[in-house]
Amino acid sequence: MKDYIQYLQDVLGLQNVMLAPEQAGAEAAKTQFFTAKGPFTVSELRHYELVFLNILTQSKESLFLPEVNDLYSKMKAAMKLRNLQVLELDCTVEDRSQLPSELAKICESKVVVVYSSFPKDIGELIFKGPGKWLETYSPAYLLEDPAAKKVVWNDLQKVMKELGV
């Protein structure tokens, strides 16, 4: 089986995903956002109806790994998000309390779904920044604990209701 970190670096272009701040330098101490193509760069503040934000604690949790992306794609398809502006991001974060303000620097969103292996305030739509946030289990976590799929589906239905889909 492929080394996940090597895959993330070589194929997906992610850098310093699993390095501790003292190993990766000062840059790793702040929040970093990644798309399937690599580090997320923004030229202007953009608005999205929905942001999927996946917090990485291990390299095998990336939304963009084939085995995780397969389940994640099925979850999105079940939500029927046809005409919505959606942004999908992996992120590394040192201080989760700073995540809303860090995300607000790069985009605005009506709803943010935060995927995590260790969600806080699971299943609650909470106002944070300019939109509502809902935290639930990540697709990578669901691969390890399929029993949690029902919890996540209930959470995603709350998001669908909030978005009117």
Tens-digit pLDDT profile for residues 124-153? 999 887 789 999 999 999 999 999 999 999
Q: What is the structure's pLDDT at 29?
A: 45
Domain extent for 109: 4-163
pTM, entire model: 0.79
For residue range 95-109, what is the model confidence (pLDDT) as tens digits? 888 889 888 888 899
Domain with residue 17: its CATH number is: 3.40.470
HSE toward the beta carbon, residue 9, CA cutoff 13 A: 10
Q: Characterize 108-123 residue by residue with b for buried, 16 or more Cβ atoms within 10 angstroms of its Cβ, and e for exposed.
A: ebbbbbbbbbebeebe
Q: Rounded to an integer, what distance in angstroms lies between the CA atom of residue 8 and that of residue 11?
A: 6
Whether the per-residue pLDDT at 60 is higher than 50: the answer is: yes
Q: How many domains does the chain have?
A: 1
Centre a 10 Å sphere on the Cβ of residue 156 and count the other Cβ atoms it contains. 18
pLDDT at 139: 96
